[in-house]
Structures are given as structure tokens and as C-alpha cells.
Structure 1
């Protein structure tokens, strides 16, 4: 537990202000991907039909959609950024290694590159936290 507290303290003290812009952009991107994932019902039904056990695939689809929409919103606001980022990590690992890597590792596979960069950023914000311009910082300073 002491190691986690030391990582959090280090991340809080080594967070440049420009990373807040990156955090907001990441949150908006995740939110938009969650909305597009829900709105593309043809791809969603194709994804479910390729699975053997439909209950797990339906649960996975709902987890991904909820985590991207709600987690992206929280990351953009800077509220519970570390927790929201942790929930994104398994989704992005699956996206990189199970979904996008099947189409090939090339410069033209933009979804793979987007997933890799997003995974890197989510891990980064899991370590460094939300930053100075966030709801977490505002709530810490305005605690009554």
C-alpha cells in the first residue's frame, strides 16, 4: 500500500499543466468512441454473433460502452481520473492484442495505432493522476 501512495505522491508532484489538455482530449476521445460503439448496431450485432457464448459477449459490450462513455466523461473532467483510467486498461489491452492486431501491424491500421496511443495515455494518467486543472484538485481545495 505504501508503494501505491508513493506513486500517487510522485504523480501529483510531477504533473505538468499541458498534460491537462491531453487528459481532456483523451476523455473526449474515449467518450466519442463509446458513443460510436453504441450507435453502430450492425457492427455490434456482428461482434456478438461471432462469439460462442452470447451472455458474456453482451456483458462485455455493455462494459466497454459504459466504461468508455462514463470513464471518458470522468477523465475529461478530471474526476476520479486514476480509477476511470484503470477501468479502461483491460478494454484497451484487448483492443490492441485481440482485435486490432489481427488486421496487421502496418502504418495504415489507424485503429491499432489509436488503441496503442490511448493505452499508453491511460497508463500514464493512472500514474500521474488528474493534474492541477481538474475536479479532483478543485474539490481538494474547496473542501468545507
Structure 2
């Protein structure tokens, strides 16, 4: 718990508007990706088909889109950012793995790696000063 508090203190002391805008852009991207998965469910089924042999395909379909949408909204507002990102990590790691197990789509791989990198950054950095997390901590 002390490590998280120390990370939050450091992040709040070194917060910049550009980092907050990057967090918001990441959240909007994840939300839009979730919407695109819901509107084109067949595309999502095709994407997870290489790992569907392992099992849990229906669970994945019902986890990926809502996790992207809800997590994206939470990341945009900076509300429980680290928890929202933790929910995204298995999806993004799976997106990287799917590219190597199935047909290689270099564009999807680059997007997945970039998003995974940004999520890893915000997992440690937190939501920053311009966020709901910071606002609610001031109210206590």
C-alpha cells in the first residue's frame, strides 16, 4: 500500500496536461474499440478464433467488449484508473498472443503493443492530478 501511495505522490508532483490528454485518448480509444466489437461481433469472433480451441470463447466475447467500454470510460475520467487498466491487461496480452498463434496482422500487433505499453505506463503512473481519483481524495 505504501508503494501505491508513493507512486501517487510522485505522479501528482510530476503531472502534466499532455500526460492527462494521453490518458484520455487511451480511454477514448478503448471505448471506441469496445463499441466496434459490439457492432461487429463477427469480427471479434474471428479475432479470437485461434485461441478458441483452448476454451472459453463465449466468455471472451462477453468480457472483451464490456471491459473495453467500461474501462475506457473509467480511464477517461481517471476513476479507479489502475483497476480499469488491470482489467485491460489480459485482453491486450491476448491480442498480442493471437497475432502469433493465428494469421499475423502487423497493424493489429502494433496497435496492441502500443496500447499495452500505454496501459503499463498508466498502471504505474496512475491517473494524475486532473482526474476523479485526485478529486475524491481531496474531498476526504
Question: What is the Cα-based RMSD across aligned positions, in Å?
Answer: 2.3
Per-residue Cα deviation, 1:110-143 (whole angstroms, up to 9, x for no partner):
21111111101101111111111111122222x1
Partners of 1:4 and 1:134 lie apart in 2 by: 16
TM-score, reference length from structure 2: 0.84
Q: Are the structure 2 counterparts of residues 47 and 89 from structure 1 closer, same or farther at C-alpha, using a change threshold of 3 Å?
A: closer
Structure 1 unaligned residues grouped into runs of 5+ = none
- 2:90 alignment counterpart: 90
TM-score, reference length from structure 1: 0.82
1:38-117 counterparts in 2 under 5 A?
38-46=38-46, 51-52=52-53, 56-96=56-96, 98-101=97-100, 102-104=102-104, 109-117=106-114
Partners of 2:131 and 2:120 lie apart in 1 by: 18
Per-residue Cα deviation, 1:69-127 (whole angstroms, up to 9, x for no partner):
1000100111111110111111111111x2224444xxx82211111111011011111
Cα deviation, residue 53, structure 1: 6.3
Moved over 2 A (4+): 1-17, 41-54, 100-104
User: How many residue pairs align between the two structures?
Assistant: 138
Per-residue Cα deviation, 1:18-50 (whole angstroms, up to 9, x for no partner):
100000000000000011111112223445766
Q: 8 Å contact 1:17–1:131 — kept in the other structure?
A: no
